[in-house]
Structure 1
Amino acid sequence: MEKELFEQLEDILELDPGTVALTDAFRDYDNWDSMANLSVIAMLDDSFGVHIASQDFKNLVTVGDLAEEVKKRMA
């Protein structure tokens, strides 16, 4: 699941493969903007069947936080 999440984030943010790490604060990526925010939320719903409300999404800081939230909601 993490590998697919990383690949999807790299695609949305137009990053080189292998760029994303669990400890990265995803909002600190150069290409992060409001469109990326919406794209990630939509990708989580489409690819993983996980809906995270905007308010809950704001509380996530790192890629690891995002991965853990997805895992928790998939269970």
Structure 2
Amino acid sequence: MENKFIEALQEALEMEDQEVNFSDAFRDYDTWDSLSRLSLIAVLDSEFDVQIEDEEFAKLITVQDLYDAVMAKQ
């Protein structure tokens, strides 16, 4: 499941050739902007059938935080 999650994140952020670590702050990636945020939310919905509300999303800092939120909703 972790690999699928990382691949989905890389796709959403257009980072297929870059390494992603669970300790990374995903908002610090060079490709992060408001459009990639929407793309990420859409990918989480389509790939994992998970919806994360804006208030909760704002509290997520690292890739691990995001992964944990997705897993908790499955």
Aligned to 1:4: 4
Q: State the Cα deviation string for residues 13-58 of structure 1 (Å, max 9, x = none).
A: 22215x1110000000000000111111111111101110111101
What percentage of residue pairs aligned between the two structures are identical?
A: 47
Counterpart residue number, 1:59: 59
- Corresponding residue number in structure 2 for 1:40: 40
CA RMSD after TM alignment: 1.0
Provide TM-score, normalisation by structure 2. 0.91
Give the Cα separation in 2 of the matches to 1:23 and 1:31: 17
TM, length-normalised to structure 1: 0.90
Count of matched residue pairs: 73
Gaps of 5+ in 2: none
Map of 2:23 onto structure 1: 23
Gaps of 5+ in 1: none
